[in-house]
Amino acid sequence: MPRSCTVCEHPDREAIDRALVGGASNRSAASLYDVSEAAVRRHKGNHLPAKLVMAQAAEEVAQADDLIEQVRDLQRRALDILDKAEEAGELRTALGAIREARGNLELLAKLLGDLDERPVVNVLVSPEWLELRAVIVGALEPHPDARGAVLRALEGADNGSRA
Ligand SMILES: [Zn+2]
């Protein structure tokens, strides 16, 4: 039966990952956090890259959210100018504002569409999910077989298909 990863389940996993990303050697991370060097090596090879990819995706989502907010701000201003131009009877300016507003809407639709294609990533990096995951794994402690099966299934969900 494949062993679960002692680094992934380690209470200081975040700190270990940060140390490894920061260039700490397997040996120093292992001795610092009282896990085996082999476990660190396996974790670094199999689990850390997937986690970094997820972090990167989360970062991209955050950047997209920021972009969307900026486009919304532009849209508010364009509509504001449209109102003023209409009140002043400046039809040429009003038409320009309408064109800008339409462009903003197209951009917003595109940005929101891009985000919709990767909702799963948000779930896997959310603190709620990581907490729930830890609770599930902890609750299955007295049932090693079920625990192993659940851990394997969770690894699959986290990493995509694994050999
Ligand atoms: Zn691991």
**pLDDT tens string for the chain (163 positions)?**
456 899 999 999 989 988 888 888 999 999 999 999 999 999 998 888 887 878 778 887 787 788 888 888 999 999 999 999 999 999 999 999 998 998 888 888 877 776 665 555 555 666 667 777 777 777 787 878 877 877 777 777 665 544 4
pTM above 0.75, yes or no: no
Print burial letters for 82-92: b (CB count within 10 Å at least 16), e (below 16).
Answer: beebeeeeeee
CA of 26 to the centre of ligand 1 (A): 13
> Within a 10 A sphere around the Cβ of 101, how many other Cβ atoms?
18
CA of 10 to the centre of ligand 1 (A): 9
Residue 3 has what DSSP assignment? P
Print burial letters for 104-139: b (CB count within 10 Å at least 16), e (below 16).
Answer: beebbeebeeebeeeeebeebbeeeeeeebeeebee
CA of 50 to the centre of ligand 1 (A): 10
